[in-house]
Amino acid sequence: MYELTDDQVNTFYHKGWIGPLDIFSYQEVESVRKEIEAISQIELLDEQKILTFSHSDFGVKTAHNHHLYCKLLSDIFEDKRVVSRLNQLGEANLLLWRTSIFHRMPGQEGIDWHQAIQYYEDYPNINENDLFLLFPKGEKVLNITVWIALEDLTSEMGTLFFANGSHRQQFQSIEVSLGEGLLKEEKCDINLEAEPESKRYSKVCQFNENEWEIESIPMVKAGQAIIFTEQVMHSAPSNCSNKERWVIVGRYIRPSVIVHPQLQNNNYIDSYGCDLRKHFCILVSGSDNYKINKVVTRN
């Protein structure tokens, strides 16, 4: 019932993404938006108003992993209407390992071109303390993102751009000072006691969009989802409208992947002040025969 067509599966492998897909109703995602809006606060960053989000488990401000305590949010990404489609893209056994809130105030800058693979073990010159994921040697990388609109979004609000087929190539990135990279609001999330800002950096990808077939998504309705591999080059323009832009993202991997491998070296606190011992993955389909991560099953 909740299946991708053969054309959609082929498009995913060819382009690196598919969507928008009709999955949730406006009422379903509206309740999620209201819940995460309740833990938000307005702050100023370089004279631009932004929203930050208080994490009740970690005791810090972060846009990530609120599904660890917010069941409405985790339910969205565990829903069979999402997971059954992911199973068609190559894996029966899946962990939900990370979620994010991507909110943009009117006039707020977007996110430039990037592959979300800069914190994987096979990325060149990666600092081991910055690792998010450690993939088994020789295993084909699978890390799928589900991007869900919580409001009706137009191109003026900043939807998504993709470089079709770019998931077959790895692009280098250069280090820049914190706040000059992909996510300038990182400066509001950073925990200076955990990691001084002077020692932190962000990254900018070396990518020429003129060399690729670029495809934009002009409109995404509330409850619709876009599914893509984190290896595909993508961007989200600035919010040039007078409305707020609300998006949530879930990320999925195989159980064979080690999440936050620094825990194996007893490094428990990340650069944002989060105690990684409180982190866990959620088994959303199949089984976990590896037992290398803290995993729970809810549904």
Residue predicted with more confidence, 127 or 190 = 127
Q: What is the mean pLDDT of the chain?
A: 87
Q: b or e along 77-93 (b: 16 or more beta carbons within 10 Å of the residue's beta carbon)? A: bbbeebbebbbbbebeb
CATH number of 6-296: 2.60.120.620
What is the per-residue pLDDT across 64-80, written as a single tens digit (0 to 9) for each?
999 999 999 999 999 99
pTM metric for this prediction = 0.91
Structural domain spans, the chain: 6-296
Pull the structure tokens for residue 16. 């690196």
Residue 62, C-beta contacts closer than 8 angstroms, at least 6 positions apart: 53, 55, 189, 272, 274
At 37 the pLDDT is 95
At 138 the pLDDT is 85
Cβ contact 115:233 at 8 Å: yes
At 279 the pLDDT is 93
